[in-house]
Structure 1
Amino acid sequence: MIHSNESHTTDLSSVKVVSRQSSVRSIKPREMTLLDNVIFCAFLCLIGGVATASQGAVNSKLGQYTGQGLSSIIVFCTGAVVSVVYFLIEVKGRPPTNLSLMMAKAPWWSWTGGLIGAIFVIITILAIPKLGAGTTTAIIVCTQTIFSCVIDHFQIFDLPFRQYSVWRGLATVGLIGCVAVIAKF
């Protein structure tokens, strides 16, 4: 293949779009849900932040009474029960008939969420008694945010591209500074 320094453009004026719908009226609008509301989703994230900060401290305290390994098992069994209830609500008590086919199509790495969650829970159970809830959570959230930006930039896990811009880089420096202050004081 020979490469040239000339730029090539494609003229899209001759492209014809063929629609299966006969008219705009025949297209059914998608029903809006509460999760389409950005403010509601941001509120859920706030609850998630409180839950994440609390989870490590709660799990660590349970670990002091039951041992770290057993507390992790208790956490995941409780989480499994809550997840089953949520699943049944989501599917209105009727799992999809093609569920096994859909599950078979999932990429191998999409099955590692439980493993990643277990690592997170065990790390917080071990680290919080030594570092405290604030420092442990600050380190985790800082690392989580930075790696999330890397995931966006390199489209890891098939996510849409979001550039790791100068502003995100500056925010990264700010996050690291926040962790240093929280850990020091």
Structure 2
Amino acid sequence: MLYIMLAVLCGCITIISMIINSHLAKKIGTLQGTLINYIVGLTSTILLMIIVKSSVSLSYSSFTKIPWWALLGGLLGVMVVASSNIVLPKIPTIYTTLLIFIGQLFTGILIDYFRVGFISKGKIIGGLLILLGLLYNSNVEKKEPDIIKN
């Protein structure tokens, strides 16, 4: 149960983080906002390590044992933050969230297929239903008249 609650909390924090980062990017620029995001993240990680008294024991020899593809996580993280900084101001948050979820779902299905050779039909159907619901809702919103004008 704890892990389920942590996963939900991570989802909430991810969306809040994306919104904050996109506002920062609008003020100072996409790449500059991404850089600030990672500088603050690095600083926070260092402070957290000091607080929990975790040592950094990453010597050159242990660093060279890390497979090259494991370093792609940082590169992909930068791409996610920069992309969301561009997309979030253009697409409503709910659509951005659902589109990211659909991308994660189908990528997870592909990874599972290549790792264990199995594709879950239920996950594919669920992802397609979410995508169809998103498209339907988007079309309904376009047709609804603006009743309340600000």
Q: TM-score range by the shorter chain?
A: 0.7 to 0.9
The structure whose RCO (Cα within 8 Å, separation 6+) is larger is 2
Q: CA deviation at 1:99?
A: 4.7
Hey, what's the Cα distance between the residues in 2 that align with 1:118 and 1:77?
A: 12
Q: Tell me, yes or no, if the aligned pair for 1:56 and 1:133 is still in contact at 8 Å.
A: no
**Larger fraction in helix:** 2
- Residue among 7, 10, 13 paired with 1:51: 13
Matched, 1:95 2:50: no
Q: Which amino acid aligns with 2:81?
A: V
Between structure 1 and structure 2, the one with the greater Rg is 1
SS at structure 2 position matched to 1:129: coil
Residue aligning to 1:60: 22
Q: Tell me, yes or no, if the aligned pair for 1:142 and 1:179 is still in contact at 8 Å.
A: no
Hey, what's the Cα distance between the residues in 1 that align with 2:138 and 2:104?
A: 17
Count of aligned pairs between the two proteins: 140
1:17-166 → structure 2 map (5 Å cutoff): 39-88=1-50, 92-96=53-57, 99-155=59-115, 161=116, 163-166=118-121
CA 1:93/1:53 → structure 2, altered by over 3 Å: closer, same or farther?
closer
Q: Tell me, yes or no, if the aligned pair for 2:109 and 2:120 is still in contact at 8 Å.
A: no
- Residue among 95, 104, 126 paired with 1:171: 126
CA 1:60/1:139 → structure 2, altered by over 3 Å: closer, same or farther?
same
After the TM superposition, which of the residue ranges 55-64 and 111-120 deviates more from structure 2? Answer: 55-64
Gaps of 5+ in 1: 1-38, 156-160
Deviations for 1:108-162, whole angstroms, at most 9, x for unmatched residues?
110011110111111111111111212122111110111012112202xxxxx37
Q: Which amino acid aligns with 1:146?
A: F
CA 1:148/1:83 → structure 2, altered by over 3 Å: closer, same or farther?
farther
Q: Tell me, yes or no, if the aligned pair for 1:72 and 1:118 is still in contact at 8 Å.
A: yes
Gaps of 5+ in 2: 142-150
TM-score, normalised relative to structure 1: 0.66
TM-score, normalised relative to structure 2: 0.80
CA RMSD of aligned residues (A): 2.2
